[in-house]
Amino acid sequence: MDLVTIVDEQNNKYTYKRYKGYAFNQEVVGNVRDRLEEVANFKVRQDDVLIGIFPKSGTHWLYNTVLMLRSGSLKYHGSGPGLEFDDLKMMEHMPSPRTFCSHLRFRFLPEQMKLGKGKIVTLTRNPKDLVVSMYHMMQKMGDLGYQGTFDGFLKRFLSEECFCGNGSWFSWIKDTEEWKTPNFLCLSYHDLKENTFANVVKLAKFLEVDHDEEFLRSVSESIQFDKLKESHETTTPPSDRWKHVSEDGRLPIYRKGKVGDWKNMFTVAQSEHFDKIYRENVEKLDLKIYTKFE
Ligand code: A3P
């Protein structure tokens, strides 16, 4: 594993862990190799649910929705344990039913999940919106994040050096498309926002949880942006881990929660360049997910 720092022509610094040619967030535990091996061999239970998602696509939104549906309560649960970031021993001993998260490309997920054990659920988000969301968060993350210009970050995001997804968003999506077993549900950020109730119903069915319509409607209300943001600010205990990134010691997750916020950040030239790379990659990788994003 190498710790790589790229300094571009505008003096923007970008640091990531590189292992076997893949880019990893510096927060991935240790030398990466050992953690990947442990994750691959992780013992999956039939009733495990993994939120496998590209960062800034709505991880917390989906995690809390899944927990509400699985627990039958509207309690907010903050951030889920991450396979590549947190204590795996603790996750091994968690009582069932377990729900965890990962931003790893699907090729790195537990082997038993690839064989169909447990369930995986994801949310896809317009990559233009998520790079903006990511950039804002990275600016708050000190040395673990990115302090340069948006233009510099965009270049790295569009390349295979993108540490958010062990490569570019396109490569990440390619892996999800190649998932072979039916234990996988893919929802869209845009649709979850517009048709929350219908998606909550779909998710409940996939998770095989039985709730009456009244409860499902309450979940749909409780996972609206303002509600989650308020719960995050009032019920998530401050953590030493995030003291350096936010004044209140909480991971800064809930910013705007909008579709199309990229229009406030991208220049016309950046947007045209992005669209070109998007089209080329969709063709090159033969991606089926060619969604028309606003
Ligand atoms: P913005 O930065 O664009 O506001 P993650 O949990 O993967 O880090 O994703 C965070 C992004 O999801 C943030 O995007 C956050 O506001 C958005 N988000 C969280 N809950 C949401 C909700 N209920 N509705 C819409 N967006 C939500």
On whether the CB atoms of residues 116 and 181 are closer than 8 A, the answer is yes
pLDDT recorded at residue 286: 87
* N-term to C-term CA, the chain: 38
Higher-scoring residue by pLDDT: 200, 284:
200
Residue 107 lies in a domain: yes
Residue 290 lies in a domain: no
Of 183, 187, 217, the residue nearest 202 (C-alpha): 187
Phi, psi of 15 (to 5 degrees): -120, 135
pLDDT recorded at residue 130: 94
Q: How far is the CA of 287 from the centre of ligand 1 (A)?
A: 25
Residue 294 lies in a domain: no
Q: Which of 65, 136, 200, 253 to mutate to test the pocket of ligand 1 (most atoms within 8 A of CB)?
A: 253
Residue 289 lies in a domain: no
Of 51, 188, 182, the residue nearest 121 (C-alpha): 51
pLDDT recorded at residue 291: 63
The residue whose CA has the least distance to atom 24 of ligand 1 is: 225
Q: Which of 25, 51, 54, 56 to mutate to test the pocket of ligand 1 (most atoms within 8 A of CB)?
A: 56
- Does ligand 1 come within 6 angstroms of the Cβ of 255? yes
User: pTM (2 decimals)?
Assistant: 0.96
Average pLDDT over residues 39-56: 98
CATH number of the domain to which 230 belongs: 3.40.50.300
Residue 293 lies in a domain: no
Give the tens place of pLDDT for each residue, 213-271. Answer: 999 999 999 999 999 999 999 988 778 777 776 777 888 899 999 999 999 999 999 99
Of 202, 206, 38, 43, the residue nearest 120 (C-alpha): 206
Q: Which of 9-23, 84-98, 132-146, 149-163 has the lowest mean pLDDT?
A: 132-146
The single residue listed with the structure tokens 């610094």 is 13
pLDDT recorded at residue 242: 76
Average pLDDT over residues 29-56: 98
Q: Which of 255, 258, 266 to mutate to test the pocket of ligand 1 (most atoms within 8 A of CB)?
A: 255
| Sheet order of strands, 22-24 included | 2-7, 13-19, 22-24
Residue 21 lies in a domain: yes
Mean pLDDT of the chain: 94
Residue of 60, 77, 103, 232 with catalytic role: 103
Burial of 290 (0-12, 13-18, 19+ CB in 10 A): exposed
- Does ligand 1 come within 6 angstroms of the Cβ of 227? no
Q: How many domains does the chain have?
A: 1
Q: How confident is the model at residue 41 (pLDDT cuts 50, 70, 90)?
A: very high
pLDDT recorded at residue 293: 66
Burial of 159 (0-12, 13-18, 19+ CB in 10 A): middle
With pLDDT > 70 as the criterion, what percentage of the chain qualifies? 97
Distances (CA, A) of 205 to 15, 64, 226: 41, 16, 26
Residue 213 lies in a domain: yes
Closest ligand 1 atom to 79 CA: 6
Determine the structural domain holding residue 269 and report its residue range.
Answer: 2-284
pLDDT recorded at residue 292: 61
Average pLDDT over residues 190-205: 97
Clarify whether 93 is annotated catalytic: no
- Does ligand 1 come within 6 angstroms of the Cβ of 205? no
Q: In whole angstroms, give the CA distance from residue 3 to residue 26.
A: 8
pLDDT recorded at residue 290: 59
Q: In whole angstroms, give the CA distance from residue 79 to residue 63.
A: 8
- When computed from its CA atoms, the radius of gyration of the chain, rounded to whole angstroms, is 18
